[in-house]
Amino acid sequence: MGKFIVTKRKDGEFQFNLQATNGQVILSSEGYAAKPSCLNGIESVRKNAAEGRFESKAAANGKFFFLIKSSNGQTVGQSQMYASEESCKTGIESVKKNAPDASVEDQTV
User: In the chain, where are the structural domains located?
Assistant: 3-106
Q: Which residue(s) pair with 25 in the sheet?
A: 19
**% residues pLDDT > 90 (the chain):** 94
Amino acid at 36: P
Which CATH architecture describes the domain 3-106? Answer: Roll (2.30)
pLDDT score at 14: 98
Instruction: State which H helix or E strand residue 88 sits in.
Output: helix 85-98
Local confidence band at 94 (pLDDT 50, 70, 90 cut-offs): very high
Whether pLDDT at 109 is above 90: no
Mean pLDDT, the chain, integer: 95
- 29 DSSP assignment: -
Average of per-residue pLDDT across 80-108: 95
pLDDT score at 104: 97
**pLDDT by residue (tens digit) across 24-45?**
999 999 999 999 999 999 999 9
pLDDT score at 1: 81
Helix (H, G, I), strand (E, B), or coil: what is residue 65? strand
